């Protein structure tokens, strides 16, 4: 395991330790990926609909969203624009670029759950990404029929989970979470040796 891999894995573990409480409360998934879009373990999946999706052919929803996130990171690195807005499969995609902060890649998967990713950068090179997905934002309409069609699971089951299990979260809470996650990335990068903490 090279130094970058240790760094990414340590960030993944630290994020789970710090954000497991809010993840459970709102059904968020705490995830980290390498530069190929492969998930770095451990991950922390608290959205029960996402857990069902990952056990079916519908898992391609996640893979496609990951690919889009990385394409947007590349565009960010090659652009002088502070704000890039696009449309991908009729869904808005926005990259927010702020001074002295990494961009926040805001996308949604095919099911319309939000995905917020932060690139992990060293010397202007992206070595991975981390963030939250499976985000059920207040006022967002989740496409349960789409999930049902590609997973083969009755839409009514997802509707019950959405209405009785998941709690919608505000954009402000997500923004605060990401601000804390940026601090974890930066503090971990400053460490000379990336000694892994004990697994949960």
Question: pLDDT tens digit string along 56-75?
Answer: 766 777 777 777 777 777 77
Query: What value does the mean pLDDT of the chain take?
Result: 81
pLDDT of 199 strictly over 50 = no
Angle of helix 60-77 versus helix 144-151 axis, rounded to 10: 120
Span 20-29, pLDDT tens digits:
999 999 999 9
pLDDT given for residue 68 in this prediction: 78
pLDDT of 161 strictly over 90 = yes
* Pairing status of strand 114-122 against strand 125-135: antiparallel
CB 118 within 8 A of CB 178: yes
Please tell me the number of Cα atoms within 13 Å of 65 on its side-chain side: 29
| CA quadruple 18, 112, 172, 52: dihedral sign | negative
70 vs 147, residue with greater confidence? 147
Q: Report the pLDDT averaged over residues 27-50.
A: 88
| C-alpha Rg value of the chain to the nearest Å | 16
Whose CA is closest to 144, among 34, 136, 12, 97? 136
Measured distance CA(1)–CA(44) in Å, rounded? 22
């Amino acid at each position: 395991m090279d130094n970058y891999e240790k760094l990414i894995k340590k960030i993944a573990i630290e994020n789970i330790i710090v954000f497991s409480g809010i993840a459970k409360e709102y059904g968020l998934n705490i995830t980290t990926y390498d530069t190929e879009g492969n998930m770095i373990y451990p991950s922390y999946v608290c959205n029960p609909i996402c857990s069902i999706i990952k056990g079916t052919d519908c898992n391609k929803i996640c893979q496609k969203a990951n690919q889009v996130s990385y394409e947007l990171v590349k565009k960010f690195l090659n652009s002088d624009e502070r704000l890039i807005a696009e449309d991908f499969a009729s869904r808005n995609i926005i990259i927010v670029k702020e001074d002295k902060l990494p961009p926040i890649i805001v996308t949604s998967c095919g099911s319309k759950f939000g995905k917020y990713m932060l690139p992990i950068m060293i010397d202007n090179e992206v070595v991975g990404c981390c963030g939250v997905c499976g985000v059920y934002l207040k006022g967002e309409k989740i496409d349960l029929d789409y999930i049902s069609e590609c997973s083969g699971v009755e839409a009514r089951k997802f509707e019950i989970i959405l209405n009785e299990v998941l709690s919608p979260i505000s954009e402000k809470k997500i923004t605060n979470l990401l601000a804390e996650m940026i601090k974890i990335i930066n503090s971990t990068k400053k460490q000379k040796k990336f000694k892994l903490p004990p697994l949960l």
